[in-house]
Structure 1
Amino acid sequence: MNKDTEIDMKEVELNELDPEKQPMTGDGQAAGGEKNGSVKLKVPEDEVTFTGLSKEELMKVAGTPGWVRTRWVLLVLFWLGWVGMLAGAIVIIVRAPRCKPIPTMNWWNDGPLYQISDLEAFSEGLKGVEAKLDEINKLKVKGLVLGPLHTVQEDQPNTLNLQQIDPTQGNQDALVAVLEKAHKKGISVVLDLTPNYRGASPWFTPGDVGDVMDKVKAAAEHWLDLGVDGIKVSDLTVATNSLDWSKLREAVQGNRTDNTKSRALMGVVEGVSPAEVSQLINTTGVDLVLSDLLSSKKEGKGRIMAMDTLHSQQRSLGWGLGAAQQDQLSKQAATPALIRLYQLLLFTMPGTPVFTYGDEIGLQAVGAESPKMVWDIEEKPAEGEAVNETAEAQREERVAVRTWFKSLSDLRGKERSLLHGDYYPLSSSTSSLSFLRVWDQSERFITAVNWGATAETLQFKLALTGSTEGLELPERAKVKLSTDKDQEVDSMVDLDKITLAPGQAVLLQFPYAG
Structure 2
Amino acid sequence: MPLSAGAEACHAGSPGGEGASEAAPLLRLEPVGQRQPMNRQQLEAAAGGPGWRAARCSLVVLFWLAWVTMLVVSVAIVVISPKPVPTTLKWWQRSLFYQVQPELSPHVRDERSGGIDAVCEHLPYLKSLGVGALILQGAFHKKATPADLSEVAEALETTAQIQHLLAESNKAGLKVMLSVCEVNLQDQEETPGNKPSNPSATDALRFWLEQGVAGFVICDSDAAYSVETLLEWRRVFEEFSTQQEERILLVEQTSDVLRPLNASTQNLTLVNVVMRSILPKSEQPLSAEEVAEAVETRLQTRQEDGWTSWTVGGEVPVELRRLFLVLMMTLPGSPAFRCREAIDHTWDKESKHLEVALFSTLSRSKSREEALLYGSLMLLPFNITHNFSSHPFSNSSVSPRPVLAFLRSWGCVQFLILLNMRPEPLSLDPAWAPGLPEKGVFVASTGMNHVGSTYLHSLQLQPYEAVVIKLFNPGGYS
Asked if the contact 1:116–1:147 (Cα under 8 Å) also holds between the matched residues in 2, the reply is: yes
Structure 1 runs not aligned, ≥5 long: 1-87, 197-201, 323-330, 364-373, 378-393, 464-471
Asked if the contact 1:119–1:147 (Cα under 8 Å) also holds between the matched residues in 2, the reply is: no
Higher alpha-carbon deviation: 396-405 or 171-180: 171-180
1:348 correspondence with 2:330: yes
1:310 correspondence with 2:280: no
Amino acid at match of 1:135: Y
Cα distance per residue 1:205-259 (max 9 Å; x no partner): 99689878654432212111221111111245643247433222332245756x3
Using the alignment, how far apart are the partners of 1:281 and 1:339 within structure 2?
38
Amino acid at match of 2:409: V
Note closer, same or farther for the CA distance 1:109–1:415 as it changes in structure 2 (3 Å cut): same
Note closer, same or farther for the CA distance 1:357–1:180 as it changes in structure 2 (3 Å cut): same
Secondary structure of the structure 1 residue equivalent to 2:320? helix
Note closer, same or farther for the CA distance 1:321–1:204 as it changes in structure 2 (3 Å cut): farther
Using the alignment, how far apart are the partners of 2:371 and 2:351 within structure 1?
30
Secondary structure of the structure 2 residue equivalent to 1:307? helix
- Residues 179-328 of structure 1 correspond to what in structure 2 (within 5 A)? 179-196=166-183, 214-236=199-221, 238-241=223-226, 243-253=228-238, 259-273=243-257, 283=267, 285-295=270-280, 298-310=290-302, 316-322=307-313
Secondary structure of the structure 1 residue equivalent to 2:151? strand
Amino acid at match of 1:508: I
Secondary structure of the structure 2 residue equivalent to 1:310? coil
Note closer, same or farther for the CA distance 1:195–1:275 as it changes in structure 2 (3 Å cut): closer
Asked if the contact 1:252–1:263 (Cα under 8 Å) also holds between the matched residues in 2, the reply is: yes
Amino acid at match of 2:206: E
Residue in 2 that maps onto 1:507 = 468
Using the alignment, how far apart are the partners of 2:187 and 2:433 within structure 1?
48
Note closer, same or farther for the CA distance 1:500–1:125 as it changes in structure 2 (3 Å cut): same
Using the alignment, how far apart are the partners of 1:348 and 1:292 within structure 2?
15
Count residues with an aligned counterpart: 369
Using the alignment, how far apart are the partners of 1:194 and 1:95 within structure 2?
51
Amino acid at match of 1:489: V
Residue in 1 that maps onto 2:416 = 446
Asked if the contact 1:479–1:508 (Cα under 8 Å) also holds between the matched residues in 2, the reply is: yes
Amino acid at match of 2:218: V
1:109 correspondence with 2:93: yes
Residue in 2 that maps onto 1:401 = 355
Asked if the contact 1:320–1:353 (Cα under 8 Å) also holds between the matched residues in 2, the reply is: yes
Note closer, same or farther for the CA distance 1:276–1:456 as it changes in structure 2 (3 Å cut): farther
Larger radius of gyration: 1
Cα distance per residue 1:189-218 (max 9 Å; x no partner): 11112354xxxxx77999689878654432
Using the alignment, how far apart are the partners of 2:230 and 2:452 within structure 1?
51
Residue in 2 that maps onto 1:483 = 446
Asked if the contact 2:188–2:198 (Cα under 8 Å) also holds between the matched residues in 1, the reply is: no
Using the alignment, how far apart are the partners of 1:438 and 1:352 within structure 2?
17
Shift of 1:348: 0.2
Structure 2 runs not aligned, ≥5 long: 1-69, 386-401
Using the alignment, how far apart are the partners of 1:175 and 1:421 within structure 2?
36
Shift of 1:141: 0.8
TM-score (norm 2): 0.65
Report the aligned-residue RMSD: 4.1
Residue in 2 that maps onto 1:81 = none
Amino acid at match of 2:352: R
1:338 correspondence with 2:293: no
Note closer, same or farther for the CA distance 1:208–1:171 as it changes in structure 2 (3 Å cut): farther
1:429 correspondence with 2:384: yes
Note closer, same or farther for the CA distance 1:213–1:445 as it changes in structure 2 (3 Å cut): farther
Cα distance per residue 1:310-357 (max 9 Å; x no partner): 3766x61110113xxxxxxxx72332x421111000000011100011
Using the alignment, how far apart are the partners of 1:164 and 1:414 within structure 2?
41
Asked if the contact 1:213–1:248 (Cα under 8 Å) also holds between the matched residues in 2, the reply is: no
Amino acid at match of 1:319: W
Cα distance per residue 1:108-140 (max 9 Å; x no partner): 111310111234599453344333211121111
Using the alignment, how far apart are the partners of 2:465 and 2:118 within structure 1?
35
1:175 correspondence with 2:162: yes
Cα distance per residue 1:3-62 (max 9 Å; x no partner): xxxxxxxxxxxxxxxxxxxxxxxxxxxxxxxxxxxxxxxxxxxxxxxxxxxxxxxxxxxx
